Structure 1
Amino acid sequence: MTEIESLQHKLVQQLNVIYKNVELAINSNELANVLINTMGIDERGCTPTPHSNHWSEQDVVVITYGDSIICANQKPLATLSEFMDNHLECINSVHILPFFPFSSDDGFAVIDYSSVNDGLGNWSDIKTISAKRRLMSDLVINHCSSRSVWFQNFIKGEGVGHDYFFTANIDADLSAVLRPRTSELLRPTKTSKGSQYVWCTFSHDQVDFDFTNPQVLIEFVRIIRQYLDAGVCIFRLDAVAFLWKIVGTKCINLPQTHEIIRLLRTLIEHARHDAVVITETNIPNTQNLTYFGNANEAHCIYNFSLPPLLINTLITGNCLYLKRWQMSMPPAQDGTTYFNFIASHDGVGLRPVEGILEENELDTLVKTMKLFGGKISSRTCENGKQKPYEINIALIDALQGTINGKDNLGLARFTCAHAIMLGLEGIPGIYIHSLLGTENDYEKLENTAHNRSINRHRWDYQKLSALLADDRNIHSKVLAALTKLIRIRTNQKAFNPNATQFTLHLGLQLFGFWRQSRDRKQSIFCISNITDQPIELPLAELNLIATEIWFDLLDGGVIHDITAVYWLEPYQTIWLSNVA
């Protein structure tokens, strides 16, 4: 059997699972051939090696909008490229949030998947960036803009896209549907075929696709091929948990959704062996873990529980819940890893800590974030009641104090959060506004009336450059502190995303874990004081090997007595390594 025949056989099996209960106008063999041809795979393609890790300790991702930094008389993507070259040379990967023409949701209501937003630049700018750094792009696969040509054709009842969208009967029982919004699920739309009710998981400007139509799948494979040709090698599947809908179910995490992700991974890694698929599934932790499959689905999953748990730890001075969660997390098998982050363009999701944080802890977290200027977004529960879904706040503001109020330890607390995240198993992603210490943007919040705008500031490049050149201000201090951490992290084999990790038991005021390189030559003990008081660390509790010399990678010191008591200042982190 040739490689193409083997690939076709696998795709047919996957398609039979996806469309088991769907009557198709095309059989699975024909559809598999169309997908292979659309992806441009032939006998010269690559057969992926199972359980391959396409990442290392050197991988760090900066998350940014294409226009997070702007400069007069220059396209924002060119400005972004220049800024990264000048200030983020230690970061080898970039996630540019949707850079396509859009109508709402800051890019996530895509009008045209095949074009770059003219206000940002063009495909040449994208290729310039992807030539220097690994590029992550969003595949906004659940929905598109109601202003797209496809949806306009749906209204007309003819042309490409006229049958791309999911509709339901207005009288259908949709009470079981789970979604993160409070708006009406169905959008009444006048079409050439009469009034139809279009499914809208997120907003009425974001109309959901109908993947029971294989033409939608073919269309997205064509889009993926275009992105690969532009240098994209990491695909973030946005809101993918909601992809497949069956009336009468929760319409989330359905088996067909999982199988579509497996099929897309199959095609993508046959087209480019080192390409990576990341699923963005902001759902309870145990459900999120299922998107690894058996190392045959997502290469990476977002570690959505980490942001709320880490913030909770640092404002309470108690690592109980973070520690419990970390101990329960399975090591990612080869071919998979976690994508760690503690801030993003969205808020701090609370669904991922359902069943982890107790209600009183959640209430305290929400109350404290409100005290620090944050906003709270809600969702409608099955009982019809409103429940906090997401905290919207800049991370630098979220960590400006504790549950007792604001203090002067914000920078130390903020740095500690990133030191913990950078040491953990997985690939770290750092939001550009965390790297820059950007505070809550109340002006943008007022202008848009959308809570998420509070953490989507747009910097003027000249003003930002002046601030970063002055080491007395918070923005310069933050970038210097995080750059130092990143430079150290990327040189430690024990910080390989799949290196061994064990949680240390040092009480509830010290959070610690041990990493060991895959060749077992390097060990690093990562320990953080997560309180606002000095804490003593008896080194004897770490069982440091006496025949090794131990170095603190962060301050350059050497441990001469492995039985001594080591004092950690408030929010201080140490990375004790047997390799300098």
Structure 2
Amino acid sequence: MSKIKERLAFIYENEDINRINSLIEKRIEEAKLKISKKRKQNWDELDVVLITYGDQFREEGIPTLETFKKMFDEHLSNKFELVHILPFYPYTSDDGFSVVDYKKVDPALGDWSHIESLSNSARIMFDYVCNHISSKSEWFQGYLNNDPKYNDYFTEMDPSIDLSSVTRPRALPLLSKFKLANGEEKHIWTTFSDDQIDLNFSNPQVLLDMIDVLLFYLEQGAEYVRLDAVGYMWKEVGTSCIHLEKTHEIVKLFRDLLDEAAKGTVMITETNVPHLDNISYFGNGHDEAHMVYQFPLPPLVLYSLHKGNGSALTNWAKNLEGSGEDTTFFNFLASHDGIGLNPIRGIIPEEEILSLVEELKEEGALVNYKKNSDGTESPYEINVTYLDALNKQSSSDDQRVKKFLLAHSILLTFQGVPAIYIQSMLGSRNDYAGVEKTGMNRSINRQKYPLVEIEKELNEEGTLRNKVFTELTNIIQVRKEEKLFNPNAKMEVLELNDKLFAIKRTSEDDHIIILHNLSNEQVLCGLNGKYLNILTGVVEEFNEFNSLEPYQFLWLKPVN
């Protein structure tokens, strides 16, 4: 029995597995005939990802994907091998994550020819919003209109049933009430909002339709695929309804499809949860996700810089497990969402987390909350640009740049594939006007720009944007030239000083030591010997008296 057939038999005990399997096999063969682009078969030090919206930059009368390609080719292509375009499909809310039609490009952004054009400049990462669909989609509208085809596409639930054990990522109702065309009222499972209707994967036809979407994305050139909110796909009353065994089996099935149709396509699971749950999506190291998001990294780096102390970051990184030869971490500091706090619960004491939240709120950050099973609420994510998160409102631009670059040095040297959010690359500050316009806290870090204005700011020497863009460009390019930053190169965490975060990346015959002073004080670095700083090209003799300046970082290779 094939792997896919075995997985189907596990997921659907009482269904016609032979029929479902034959339909999947036929769809795989169709996809193989349409997929012409060869995939890179592994990752290396060149793989740095840019995270962006498809309408990030605007020009009057021009599809925004065309404008983005112009910006990318002119300013970004020499820095990034891959571009993660956040959902570029027609949508109704959540800046793209309530998809109306999985197989269309939002007309304001362009069409599939624009995606194809961009794929000539970079490899593309698609969002596969597999847990839910827009309430305005054909599928859900068909359900509301009593179309029998969609009768079992969504999860109806009696509101009197006890669902208190279900894990809640939002402080919103789990069930949303809708009226059908025949006048019936139904309560439907909506994990994230009443505009994001959870799909019912216990219906095999839903799985078949979503497999069709996944293979369609490969046909359209997706080389990385991000499984959004994947942990919630399977529902069983009486459980937490997150990370269930059948959810993992569906993820394994998706991996089988990718390997069969276009080997080398990288699958990334997005599960903003504690570390052990997160790395469970590596499976056995060969059968589930190729990469998982390194969710503790953004809040831990932020916490460490606020404390001026690297102990928590060092202890966490020293004990980090889960990545293997065929898997790695997808590292980031900022994204289109806020800075998640759940991943550091259990790493940082709760009172310290709450203290950090209050400190950031005083400096202008916003906060989203989640509902706990006991009815209380806890901070779920901090909404702020990473540049403003690291600094006080009273900080000088030079101070801002120092801390920001140090944080990104950690990102770019940490084991895994690094991803940089477009707002970070642009040196963006908090967008309060955006929050006022949308009423959403997350809009604080989702600003869009007229192309001519952002180019002017980036090119104007001495501006904050110019300093960030220029300096960050320099360290990205050095990173890409150093083979010791291959994600498969080993990482050792060094314990030199509480105020430092230090790591060593090694190969069979070489190594590099990276030092970060997380404090605003001079700190002895504790090294002896002659080293080349590959960021500056300067060779220096180190002894017990050498120190790092506040927020200084060094990338040091031994010189014989």
Q: Please list the CA deviations of residues 395-440 of structure 1 after superposition, one character each: whole Å capped at 9, or x if unmatched.
A: 11111149xx746511100000000110000000000000001110
2:274 partner amino acid: P
Q: In the alignment, is residue 329 of structure 1 matched against residue 343 of structure 2?
A: no
What is the CA distance between 1:160 and its match in structure 2?
A: 4.5
**In structure 1, the residue corresponding to 2:238 is in which secondary structure?**
coil
What is the CA distance between 1:315 and its match in structure 2?
A: 1.2
Specify which of 232, 240, 260 is matched with residue 242 of structure 1. 232
- Counterparts of 1:564 and 1:493, CA distance in 2: 29
State the partner residue of 2:80.
91
Between 1:297-306 and 1:160-169, the stretch displaced more is 160-169
Taking structure 1 as reference, are residues 555 and 148 closer, same or farther at Cα in structure 2, changes over 3 Å only? same
What is the CA distance between 1:44 and its match in structure 2?
A: 8.5
What is the CA distance between 1:557 and its match in structure 2?
A: 0.9
Q: Please list the CA deviations of residues 436-469 of structure 1 after superposition, one character each: whole Å capped at 9, or x if unmatched.
A: 0111000010011110000000111101111111
Q: In the alignment, is residue 58 of structure 1 matched against residue 46 of structure 2?
A: yes
**Is the 1:36–1:267 Cα contact (8 Å) retained in structure 2?**
no
Taking structure 1 as reference, are residues 579 and 497 closer, same or farther at Cα in structure 2, changes over 3 Å only? farther
**Is the 1:175–1:382 Cα contact (8 Å) retained in structure 2?**
yes
Q: In the alignment, is residue 31 of structure 1 matched against residue 12 of structure 2?
A: no
**Is the 2:365–2:384 Cα contact (8 Å) retained in structure 1?**
yes
- Counterparts of 1:157 and 1:217, CA distance in 2: 21
Specify which of 505, 514, 535 is matched with residue 515 of structure 1. 505
State the partner residue of 2:533.
552
What is the CA distance between 1:166 and its match in structure 2?
A: 1.3
What is the CA distance between 1:137 and its match in structure 2?
A: 0.7
Percent identity over the alignment is: 39
**Is the 2:519–2:551 Cα contact (8 Å) retained in structure 1?**
yes
2:217 partner amino acid: Y
2:75 partner amino acid: H
Structure 1 unaligned blocks of 5 or more:
1-7, 47-51
- Counterparts of 1:43 and 1:392, CA distance in 2: 42
Q: In the alignment, is residue 169 of structure 1 matched against residue 158 of structure 2?
A: yes
**In structure 2, the residue corresponding to 1:62 is in which secondary structure?**
strand
Specify which of 359, 378, 383 is matched with residue 350 of structure 2. 359
1:262 partner amino acid: K
Between 1:475-484 and 1:564-573, the stretch displaced more is 564-573
**Is the 1:493–1:522 Cα contact (8 Å) retained in structure 2?**
no
Between 1:406-415 and 1:130-139, the stretch displaced more is 406-415
Taking structure 1 as reference, are residues 53 and 306 closer, same or farther at Cα in structure 2, changes over 3 Å only? farther
**In structure 2, the residue corresponding to 1:224 is in which secondary structure?**
helix
What is the CA distance between 1:143 and its match in structure 2?
A: 0.3
**In structure 2, the residue corresponding to 1:30 is in which secondary structure?**
helix
Specify which of 277, 280, 284 is matched with residue 270 of structure 2. 280
**In structure 2, the residue corresponding to 1:189 is in which secondary structure?**
strand
Q: In the alignment, is residue 179 of structure 1 matched against residue 168 of structure 2?
A: yes
**Is the 2:31–2:219 Cα contact (8 Å) retained in structure 1?**
no
In the TM superposition, 1:9-28 aligns within 5 A as 9-20=2-13, 23-24=14-15, 27-28=16-17
**Is the 2:32–2:262 Cα contact (8 Å) retained in structure 1?**
no
In the TM superposition, 1:394-543 aligns within 5 A as 394-401=385-392, 406=395, 409-517=399-507, 520-540=508-528
Specify which of 230, 246, 253 is matched with residue 256 of structure 1. 246
Q: Please list the CA deviations of residues 155-187 of structure 1 after superposition, one character each: whole Å capped at 9, or x if unmatched.
A: 122164342111111211101011211111111
- Counterparts of 1:340 and 1:538, CA distance in 2: 28
Taking structure 1 as reference, are residues 99 and 160 closer, same or farther at Cα in structure 2, changes over 3 Å only? farther
What is the CA distance between 1:279 and its match in structure 2?
A: 0.3
- Counterparts of 1:331 and 1:208, CA distance in 2: 29
State the partner residue of 1:567.
547
Between 1:391-400 and 1:159-168, the stretch displaced more is 159-168
State the partner residue of 1:70.
58
**In structure 2, the residue corresponding to 1:494 is in which secondary structure?**
helix
> What is the aligned residue count?
552
What is the CA distance between 1:566 and its match in structure 2?
A: 2.5
State the partner residue of 1:344.
335
Structure 2 unaligned blocks of 5 or more:
none
4+ residue stretches of structure 1 with deviation over 4 A? 41-46, 405-408
What is the CA distance between 1:39 and its match in structure 2?
A: 2.5
State the partner residue of 1:3.
none
- Counterparts of 1:579 and 1:468, CA distance in 2: 37
What is the CA distance between 1:74 and its match in structure 2?
A: 1.5
Q: Please list the CA deviations of residues 246-291 of structure 1 after superposition, one character each: whole Å capped at 9, or x if unmatched.
A: 0111111101001100000001111111101000000111111111
Between 1:267-276 and 1:531-540, the stretch displaced more is 531-540
1:100 partner amino acid: Y
**Is the 1:53–1:335 Cα contact (8 Å) retained in structure 2?**
no
State the partner residue of 1:304.
295
**In structure 2, the residue corresponding to 1:103 is in which secondary structure?**
coil
In the TM superposition, 1:188-207 aligns within 5 A as 188-192=177-181, 194-207=184-197
Compute the TM-score of the two structures, normalised by the length of structure 1.
Answer: 0.92
- Counterparts of 1:571 and 1:64, CA distance in 2: 28
State the partner residue of 1:5.
none
Root-mean-square deviation (CA, aligned residues, Å) is 1.9
- Counterparts of 2:26 and 2:477, CA distance in 1: 42
Q: Please list the CA deviations of residues 30-76 of structure 1 after superposition, one character each: whole Å capped at 9, or x if unmatched.
A: 21121121233699999xxxxx9621110000000011111222211
Q: In the alignment, is residue 146 of structure 1 matched against residue 130 of structure 2?
A: no
**Is the 1:422–1:428 Cα contact (8 Å) retained in structure 2?**
yes
Specify which of 372, 380, 384 is matched with residue 393 of structure 1. 384
- Counterparts of 2:272 and 2:25, CA distance in 1: 31
2:50 partner amino acid: V
